[in-house]
Structures are given as structure tokens and as C-alpha cells.
Chains A and B, each alone.
Chain A
Amino acid sequence: MNRRKFLLLSAVAVAGLTLAPAIKPAFASSKLEEEIKKRIGVDLSVIKESADIKLTAPTIAESGANVPITVESTIPVDKVERLWIFVDKNPIPWIADVKFTPENGKVYLSTRIKMGETSNVRAILQLKDGTFVMATKEVKVTAGGCG
């Protein structure tokens, strides 16, 4: 094709790529977003990533049936309502939730979860003042077998 057509096409492509993320159809929410809305009652968009909550999980999981995760937070436990755990790509993204009281002393949870495929794991802390903070970690699930 001639140079002018090529330049025009590239300009359109670049414009499309930069605008695309902004043009998000209102009706297309992911399974994760729907699950969060259903369980917690808020949109994922109001939940912000925060260094005040730490999620430890392997970068590469040996077995998707047993992925160890640990959640800790420096936020005082008496300010905390509930901790929620989600796995984006599981058939049911909600994994568990824990209600904390001051007698817990601090926010902490360690457990093992199942993951069907490589996905984000999210720890969402619901605070008593109605705000939310989150830590996200991508865990790669590799294929394994038993000899």
C-alpha cells in the first residue's frame, strides 16, 4: 500500500490503542468484579492497592491444588471489619472471608487455596470506616503430575 495510506492506518491504530482502555463498556464486568459486588457490595474500582496490607504467595505455585498464602496488615485490628480473599480466574472467585475483633491482636491469616490456572490473588481489607484496601499478587500455576 502507498505511504500515505500506511501512515493514516498507523495513526488510527495508535489512536485506537490509546483510547481503548478508556472506552470500557458499562455492561461488561468480569466474573471477579461481579463476585466482589455480590459479596462485598462495592465496585472493584473503589478498592485501592495499598502497602498497608501485605499478601505473600509464591510467584510460581508447585501445585494449583495447594497454594500457600499469608496476609498481614499494619492497620490496627480494631479499625478492621473483615478480610476477603479472591482468585480472579477461579470458577468462583470468592475463596474466604474472616471477621476480626480486637481480641485477634492484629490482622493476620495464613492458609492454602486452590487455583485452577495462573491468576491474580487478591486480599481485600474492609475497614470499619467503609473504606477498602487491597494487595494483589499474580501466582503462576504450572502443570504438575505424580510419578
Chain B
Amino acid sequence: MRVYYFLMINIIIKLLVVGLLLYGDAFANEKINRAISENKLVVFYFKSQFCPYCAQVEDFVFSDEEVFKKLSNFVFVELDIRSDEGSKLARKFGVPGTPTVVIYDPKTDKVVGLIFGSRPKEDYLKTINKACKLYNIKTC
């Protein structure tokens, strides 16, 4: 009886691992596809656990009303830089560390802007506004 249970759990775990490997990228890809269909740019936010600078940006920049409103014009994707998805995209974009925000045009596969570090919100607004202007996003 015990051997049977052990085998079942073994198979289930293997299926889960395969599933994750095959579909692990689903999260970011799904959001990128949504951005394309909604005609929006993507804002990737790369973070890492225990990084106090990420906490600072989340507390003071993303939570700021003005920044939050502007970000609602984009598809926002939060990624752990150490995850499979996160590390792959970080390599693609040349992300130096965390916190890093990458503004990305999914249609042309181009990086429109990149900000690294816990900068004051004005620096973030500058880069976001540049993207908004370049792409003529009226509500931004």
C-alpha cells in the first residue's frame, strides 16, 4: 500500500515539474500578448527578495498617486529576477540588478526605457513621460 502511494506522489510531482517547465513562461507571455492586443506598452518591474531598494520603490514610487495613474496606461508585469522567467527576461534586457523598471514595446520587441535603482519618483516620471510622448499615449 505504502509503495503505491509513494509511486503516485512521485508521478504527480514529475507531472508538476514538467508542467512548470513547459508553461512556466506563461505568466509574462500572457501579459505581453494582452499588451499587444490592447495596444499598450509593457512595464516590467524586476525585483528580488530582501532587497531594501525594491521595498523603497514599492513604498514610495509605485504607490505615489501620480505614478500609479500613469502606470495604468501600461501592462505592468512584476518579476522576481531569480525566477526562470525573470532571469531570462533580465538577460534579454540587460538588467543590471534590482529594482529595475523596463518599458518595452512588445510589437517591435524594443526597450523604450530602463531605470535601475531606488531613485526618487521624479526620475521615474521622466522616463515614463518620455515613453508616453514617444508613443502619443494621450491619457498619460
Contact = CB atoms under 8 A, between A and B. Distances in A.
Q: Describe A's contact surface by its main secondary structure.
A: loop
A144 interface: yes
Contact of A143 (B52, B60, B64, B119): B119
Interface residues of A, number: 16
B56 interface: yes
Interface string B59-86: 1110110000000000000000000000
A63 B52 CA distance: 7
A60 B52 CA distance: 16
A54 to B, nearest CB: 26
Given A63-B118, A91-B64, A117-B120, A145 B56 contact: no
Interface string B17-56: 0000000000000000000000000000000100111111
Given A116-B121, A143-B119, 6 more contacts: A63-B52, A114-B59, A116-B60, A117-B121, A146-B98, A146-B99
Interface of A: 63-66, 90-91, 114, 116-118, 141, 143-147
Interface of B: 48, 51-56, 59-61, 63-64, 96-100, 116-121, 123
